Amino acid sequence: MRIVLAIATALSLLPGAAPAPKPRVAEDIRHYWVYCIGTTTSVEMWDLAQMKVRRGSDVCVLHESTSMSGAQDWMEKNFPTHTCSCRE
């Protein structure tokens, strides 16, 4: 990986060359959460603190994924009726 970045950086110094690609960092990776909101499941991009502001206190996290499809698949597998409860 370092060699590829070094070559890309060197090539980007040539006149008219495109800038070197930036390596992906943890902040670049999107997260998707499966929430129980009231009694219904939902896949959202907001973290728990943002969801509590947006939807109120009756929100809990059921699952976290780095892909929307992964979160949706998990929700369908584990909550096929989309009915849930934050109380255990």
- The terminus-to-terminus CA distance of the chain in angstroms comes to 46
| 4: pLDDT strictly greater than 80 | no
Which residue, among 66, 78, 55, has the nearest Cα to 31 in the 3D structure?
A: 66
pLDDT per position as a tens digit, 13-70:
556 656 656 665 556 788 999 999 999 999 999 999 999 999 988 999 999 999 999 9
Q: Which of 4-13, 54-63, 74-83 has the least mean pLDDT? A: 4-13
> pTM above 0.85?
no
**What pLDDT band is residue 86 in, cutting at 50, 70 and 90?**
confident
